[in-house]
Amino acid sequence: MGQPKQTSSVTPLRAMSCAVSFAVLTGLLLSQTAAFAQSASQPANSRSATSQDNHATNNAASAAGFDDETDDTATPAANGATANADGAQQRPAIPDAQAGDDITGSILDEDIRRLNTREAPVDEALPRRRAAEGASTEETPGIPIGTFVLRPSVTQSINTETTKDDNTTQRRAFLETDAAATLTSDWGRHQLTVTSEGAWQKNVSGEGEEQPSFKLNSDLRLDLPDDTTAHLTAGYNFYREDTDDPDAIANAAQQSDVQEFSAGASVQRDFGILRGTTALALTRSIYSDAKLSNGTTVSLSDRNQTTGTLRGRVGYELSPALIPFIEANIGRTVYDETQDSAGYERSGHSYGAKAGVEVDLGEKLKGEVGVGYEMADFEDSRLSSIDTATLDASLLWSPIRGTDVNLDLQTSIQPSTTAGESGYVSHALTTTVTHQLRDNLVGTMIGGVIWRDYPTDSTINDELVYTAATGLTWNINRYLDLTSTLGYELTTRKEGSDSQQWRAGVGLKLKR
């Protein structure tokens, strides 16, 4: 008989165990897939918060004594967290990175903010370019005296001079000492400037008249409120009258010494585009006796006088570089003696007006030009009035760097002391050109002409005076210069002989 088929209860149990295991495995896989998809869809800040929570949990577990129960994988993470905590005290924390386009945009924005920063204007970022100062243009430091700075200079020279008048020729060699000084205040507001210069001559050979001179001027500038500036001025001028002066004493061994005292005040104020100026000036002139060749003297006290002038100007500012103006003045001259030695009353009045323009183009061109009319009358009816059209100019022009051209043109009425003569009109033109040949060598050329225009009813003929001079200054160092000069003067007359004068000299200039 066949044997019966054997069955066992273990087989169904194994089958059920495999089915349960397969179901559990499938459930685990599905749950992990869903968790992975959900975590991928969360933003970066959620993962950052989860990381912080896990980090706090690990720290709490470590504090509770469960370090031994953590696996090997968790240990390096805990150590790394501790290291990062220690390093956080030495360097700033790095913000959590953002995902995707947020990271790229943040980097680009940061780069733009860093590269496209505001730059200062050129005038603020870089100092203005200045020409290199050489020995010829460098200013001496001066001597500090309290709140002032004194800059003195002394020049000692030896000169030769030849004068020819008609058939008479005179030659002389002389020493000349020139002294100059400038005293300038160093105040935060207002300014006081005092300038002085003088010359003393001593003949060492030959014959000829010595020409001493001295000049002192002061200017106190007051900076007042409301765009107002005031000036208080005072001055003293001493010189010996020149032999070629129309009022000089003929054949005198020594001409008169002239002293001039001056004082003035002016106020300038800006009214928007209008600029107004009012000025008052006083001048006192004193003449000493002239000495004749025979030892006698001639008194010239009848020429002593006092002059006062009131001036007003109004300018219209088209631009800071161009200001047209109109100006008017009135003056009064009073002589100490009512009548001079010839019996003439020379006290009188003067009037003038002009229109012009002020120009200020910086270092290239600055100054003013004006045209007008001027008249002078006298108390004595025997003296005719003098009137003339005027052309005045004072310009400083720099065509190229290192070259300066100074143009000065003046028209003025000069009273006379000759019996029966009212005076003459003086037209004076002077041009000075200064050029820097080298860093320490400067050349100067001066040319000028003066036209003394007498009235048609005068017994004196017109005169023309031409002057020309040249000079070189070698700057040995900041404090010492070597100077040389050469000059010529010619006076021509319609009637009478002409006169000429040559002069040359060399000297040393010490400055501080």
**pLDDT tens figures, 393-423:** 999 999 999 999 999 999 999 998 888 889 9
Confidence at residue 494, expressed as pLDDT on a 0 to 100 scale: 83
Confidence at residue 495, expressed as pLDDT on a 0 to 100 scale: 80
**Beta sheet of 290-292, edge-to-edge order:** 252-254, 290-292, 297-298
Cite the DSSP H helix spans in 5-70.
10-41, 44-64
Please state which of the ranges 74-78, 275-279, 336-340, 429-433 shows the lowest mean pLDDT. Answer: 74-78
CA distance 424 to 354: 20
Packed helices 44-64 and 74-87: angle between N→C axes, nearest 10 degrees:
100
Residue 287 confidence (pLDDT) above 80: yes
Confidence at residue 197, expressed as pLDDT on a 0 to 100 scale: 97
Residue 242 confidence (pLDDT) above 80: yes
**pLDDT tens figures, 85-124:** 444 444 444 444 444 444 445 454 555 555 444 444 444 4
Confidence at residue 420, expressed as pLDDT on a 0 to 100 scale: 85
pLDDT above 90 as % of the chain: 60
User: Domains of the chain by range and CATH?
Assistant: 151-511 (2.40.170)
Confidence at residue 22, expressed as pLDDT on a 0 to 100 scale: 52
Top mean-pLDDT range of 43-47, 49-53, 101-105: 101-105
Please state which of the ranges 96-105, 137-146, 198-207, 244-253 shows the lowest mean pLDDT. Answer: 96-105
- The closest alpha carbon to 349, from 369, 332, 367, belongs to 332
CB 140 within 8 A of CB 511: yes
Confidence at residue 110, expressed as pLDDT on a 0 to 100 scale: 54
For the full predicted model, state whether its pTM sits above 0.85: no
Confidence at residue 12, expressed as pLDDT on a 0 to 100 scale: 41
CA distance 241 to 488: 19
pLDDT above 70 as % of the chain: 73
Residue 283 confidence (pLDDT) above 60: yes
Confidence at residue 419, expressed as pLDDT on a 0 to 100 scale: 84
Residue 233 confidence (pLDDT) above 60: yes
CB 304 within 8 A of CB 286: yes
Residue 76 parent element (H or E): helix 74-87
List the structure tokens of 151.
């800059």
Q: Which residues pair with 332 in a beta bridge?
A: 308, 349
Please report which confidence band the pLDDT of residue 13 belongs to, taking 50, 70 and 90 as the band edges: very low
CA distance 287 to 239: 10
Computed over every residue of the chain, the mean pLDDT equals 81
Residue 319 confidence (pLDDT) above 50: yes
CA distance 375 to 385: 7
Please state which of the ranges 38-42, 312-316, 327-331, 497-501 shows the lowest mean pLDDT. Answer: 38-42
**pLDDT tens figures, 412-455:** 999 988 888 899 999 999 999 999 999 999 999 999 999 999 99
Residue 37 confidence (pLDDT) above 80: no
Average pLDDT over residues 321-331: 97
Confidence at residue 388, expressed as pLDDT on a 0 to 100 scale: 96
CA distance 425 to 413: 5
Please report which confidence band the pLDDT of residue 72 belongs to, taking 50, 70 and 90 as the band edges: very low
**pLDDT tens figures, 331-382:** 999 999 999 888 999 999 999 999 999 999 998 999 999 999 999 999 999 9
Please report which confidence band the pLDDT of residue 27 belongs to, taking 50, 70 and 90 as the band edges: low
